[in-house]
Chains A and B, each alone.
Chain A
Amino acid sequence: MWQWFLTLGAPRNFYTLSGRYMPWLAGITVVLLGIGLVWGLALTPPDYQMGENYRIAYIHVPMATLAMGCYAMMACFSAGYLIWKIKIADMIAKSCAPIGASVTAVALVTGSLWGIPTWGTWWIWDARLTSTLIMLFLYGGIIALRGAFDSIDSGARACAVLSLVGVVNLPIIKYSVDWWNTLHQGASNLSLSDRAANPPEVWLPAFFVGFGILGFFLIALILRTRNEILVRERRSQWVKDLINGSGQEEVNNA
């Protein structure tokens, strides 16, 4: 297992293996998202208070979860880069930032669109919303910081440190609804009972969407990381071969 990870850590192996499994990942993702979105939009009964409007939850909740998960992942790879100087860890961390920023934006915008009819406002400076906005700024700051360095290594180190400092925000987002009296609701209790507030017919579609969105995230992350590998390894022979016709199939398929 460990050996397998080490093999994958070599940029060339990452590039080859990710290209091989990409069609499978894409297929599973499309199926999961298709089932989950149709189910959540059309087949799940409306909420007894919010009516049809709560269907926004099926994208708002998984995207907000992914926004935090993506940050945690970026921080882990940043730590991996700082401690062990693994090149690919930095490439993955760099790829996380723009995806995380856009996913956070979706969580905020869908939350606002949900808030207009249910709360009567699209924005309020409550702890959950404010800490999530700070996460968006952290992502933006990390992207900007990377662009401010000419040297790849200096930029990587600075971004890794900033990513790790920003981790402090994650528990604040997670527990903001418990620690403060927020307008944002707390975590929902999911229950297997049919008579519970959230029976399986409500949260099961969210599971499909959630795993589908996870698949999307992995695809987007792999695509960006592969580009990063091509740029940083352009001096190595295997990339030259890949570009120069001999690996023409690879280039076309990927």
Chain B
Amino acid sequence: MPEFQFQSFSEFLAMGGHALYVWASYAFFAAVIAFNLIQPAMAKRKIIRQHKALLRREAARLENQEN
């Protein structure tokens, strides 16, 4: 069974003196993962907003033609 390999949590954070390299790697990894999920989600909201505005304009134009 795998066991916790460090004596304490602060030793875990220290990563045997390699804290900077290990945690910077994982932080950049996490940032890129987050970017790839958040960016399309925000883009989708923008697309839906623009589509809605377009459809509203089209509906208004149709109404004007009928009058």
Report whether over half of chain B's contact residues are helix, strand or loop; otherwise say mixed.
helix
- Categorize the interface residue count of chain B: 20 to 34
Residues in A whose Cβ lies below 8 Å from that of B22: 41, 52-53, 55-56, 113
Residues in A whose Cβ lies below 8 Å from that of B40: 220, 223-224, 226-227
Contacts A42-B5, A102-B35, A219-B37 given; indicate if A53 touches B28 (C-beta within 8 A). Answer: no
Which A residues, 28 to 80, have Cβ-Cβ distances below 8 Å to chain B? 37, 39, 41-46, 51-53, 55-56, 59-60, 63
**When chains A and B are docked, how far (Å) is the Cα of A53 from the Cα of B21?**
7
**When chains A and B are docked, how far (Å) is the Cα of A105 from the Cα of B22?**
16
Does B62 reach chain A (CB closer than 8 Å)?
A: no
Report whether over half of chain A's contact residues are helix, strand or loop; otherwise say mixed.
helix
Residues in B whose Cβ lies below 8 Å from that of A239: 51
Contacts A106-B32, A226-B44 given; indicate if A240 touches B21 (C-beta within 8 A). Answer: no
Which A residues, 70 to 124, have Cβ-Cβ distances below 8 Å to chain B? 98-99, 102-103, 105-106, 109-110, 113-114, 116-117
* B5 partner, pick from A44, A227, A234, beta carbons under 8 A: A44
**When chains A and B are docked, how far (Å) is the Cα of A219 from the Cα of B48?**
20
Q: Is the CB of A116 within 8 A of B26?
A: no
Cβ-closest chain B residue relative to A223: B40
Contacts A106-B29, A226-B44 given; indicate if A46 touches B5 (C-beta within 8 A). Answer: yes
Q: Is the CB of B48 within 8 A of A251?
A: yes
Interface CB pairs A-B, < 8 A, 23: A42-B4, A42-B12, A43-B3, A43-B5, A46-B16, A51-B16, A52-B15, A52-B22, A53-B16, A59-B25, A59-B26, A59-B29, A99-B36, A102-B36, A103-B32, A106-B29, A201-B2, A220-B37, A223-B37, A230-B48, A231-B47, A240-B55, A243-B48
Which B positions have Cβ atoms within 8 angstroms of A?
2-6, 12, 15-18, 21-22, 24-26, 28-29, 32-33, 35-37, 40-41, 43-44, 47-48, 51-52, 54-55
Closest 3 CB pairs of A and B: A43-B2, A52-B16, A223-B40
